[in-house]
Amino acid sequence: MLRIGFAILAAAWLAGCVSTTNSDLSVTDRGTVIPSVRASVDIAPRIQAPAIPHSGHSIEFAISGTSGDDVQGLAATDPQVVFGGQTFAAPNSLHHEFDFGFVELAYRFRHFFGDGSFGIEALGGLGFAEFNLTTTSATRRAQEKLSNGGLLAGFGVIWKFLPSTSLQSRLTVFGSGEREDVTGAARFDLYVAQRLGRHVALRGGVVGWGITSTREASENFISPNSRIRARFSGLGLGLDVMF
């Protein structure tokens, strides 16, 4: 029994000494198109033309996604990248391709000041992120689908500079509490929104996303994988349906 106990202690000590100094797997794409669809239902007050931004309480559902690619160079002095059960040694050139999707359901509060041209909004609710990543080199290929649910929060500013046209900005953050899949994400939106009718508006502007998978060690597990950092941005196109 003593031998077994010493063996367990030795294994735990060796596990604690395992090196986790892999290079980050880094993906950056600044030329994506990021479409989104939002549907919202006013709780109170309910007005005749809900597509006009106004003070009140609402439930908002949204879905967005995009695809992209990047090439990451590893210098001879860089540590290896470990991903999808494969080890990519340096020096190397890694080609990344990804698909990303995000679904959110949130309570939204808006308040407009003075004459109603300037307002703020706050959101809180649930989100689900999915990041499908494929990495290839000259000799290896690996793929992982990272997906997690979690909590989200957001804050935005709205300026109605014309009766049917507004400038809208929003920062949304998401956290899952997990280590191996999508640990966290953040999105910044800057749109011009044009109302088309009582219930519909179109948005056009710029969107930027940042996604991380920390791959950190937990109490009973040491991740062999490289941390993942993905950043992508580009043209944002949106359709809003409001009731």
Residue of 121, 128, 141, 87 whose CA lies nearest to 189: 121
Looking at residue 219, the DSSP 8-state letter turns out to be T
Q: Say yes or no to pLDDT of 9 above 70.
A: no
Burial environment of residue 189 by CB neighbours within 10 A (0 to 12, 13 to 18, 19 or more): buried
Region at 211 (left for phi over 0; alpha for psi -120 to 50; beta for the rest): beta
Q: 59-85, pLDDT tens digit by residue?
A: 999 999 999 999 999 999 999 999 999
Strand partners, 194: 165, 202
154 compared with 19, residue with greater pLDDT: 154
pLDDT band at residue 21 under the 50/70/90 scheme: confident
pLDDT digits (tens, 9 = 90+) for 177-231: 877 899 999 999 999 999 999 999 999 999 999 999 998 755 565 678 899 999 9
pLDDT reported for residue 218: 57
Please, which pLDDT band fits residue 138 given cuts at 50, 70 and 90? very high
44 pairs with which residues across the strands?
A: 57
With 80 as the cut, is the pLDDT of residue 1 above it? no
pLDDT value at 5 more than 50: no
Q: How confident is the model at residue 160 (pLDDT cuts 50, 70, 90)?
A: very high
Is 127:112 a contact under the CB 8 Å cutoff? no
Whether the model clears a pTM of 0.85, i.e. scores above it, the answer is yes
Query: In this model, does residue 8 exceed pLDDT 60?
Result: no
- pLDDT at residue 10 greater than cutoff 60: no
Hey, what amino acid is at 162?
L
For the chain, the domains span: 19-242
Question: How many Å is the maximal CA-CA distance in the chain?
Answer: 80
Q: Is 4 helix (H, G, I), strand (E, B) or coil?
A: helix
The average pLDDT across 21-32 equals 94
Inform me whether the pLDDT recorded for 15 exceeds 50. Answer: no
For 30-52, how does the pLDDT look when each residue is reduced to its tens digit (9 = 90+)? 999 999 999 999 999 989 899 99
The average confidence (pLDDT) of the chain is 90
Residue 42 to residue 10: CA distance in whole angstroms? 60
Residue 16's pLDDT band, with cuts at 50, 70 and 90, is very low
Higher pLDDT, 31 or 9: 31
90-130: per-residue pLDDT in tens? 999 999 999 999 999 999 999 999 999 999 999 999 999 99
The predicted model gives 10-37 an average pLDDT of 73
